[in-house]
């Protein structure tokens, strides 16, 4: 859980942080087809989420990262 939180914060805080960094750190078969499009979509939604509302997109990004970590 801690590692997933660290990756979520890294992806959200750094302007240049990319899903590719995450996929390179935790490769698994078919990462291009399975993980990249979903994670990029979740990251984009989480980045534009309003801080005044519940963090649904940030939570979804966390769950996506957890799925990636569980598959490695």
**Residues 6 or more apart whose Cβ sits within 8 Å of residue 71:** 28
**CATH code of the domain containing 56:** 1.10.60.30
- The tokens for 42 are 């979740």
Q: What is the span of the domain harbouring residue 61? A: 2-71
The mean pLDDT of 21-34, rounded to a whole number, is 67
Banded pLDDT at 33 (limits 50, 70, 90): low
pLDDT score for 17:
63
- Single pTM value for the model: 0.80
Domain count, the chain: 1
Predicted confidence (pLDDT) at residue 71 exceeds the cutoff of 80: no
Banded pLDDT at 56 (limits 50, 70, 90): very high
pLDDT score for 55:
93
């Amino acid at each position: 859980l801690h590692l997933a939180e660290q990756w979520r914060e890294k992806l959200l805080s750094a302007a240049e942080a990319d899903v590719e960094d995450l996929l390179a750190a935790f490769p698994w078969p078919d990462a291009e087809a399975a993980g990249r499009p979903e994670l990029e979509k979740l990251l984009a939604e989480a980045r534009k989420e309003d801080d005044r509302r519940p963090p649904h997109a940030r939570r979804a990004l966390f769950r996506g990262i957890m799925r990636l970590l569980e598959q490695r």
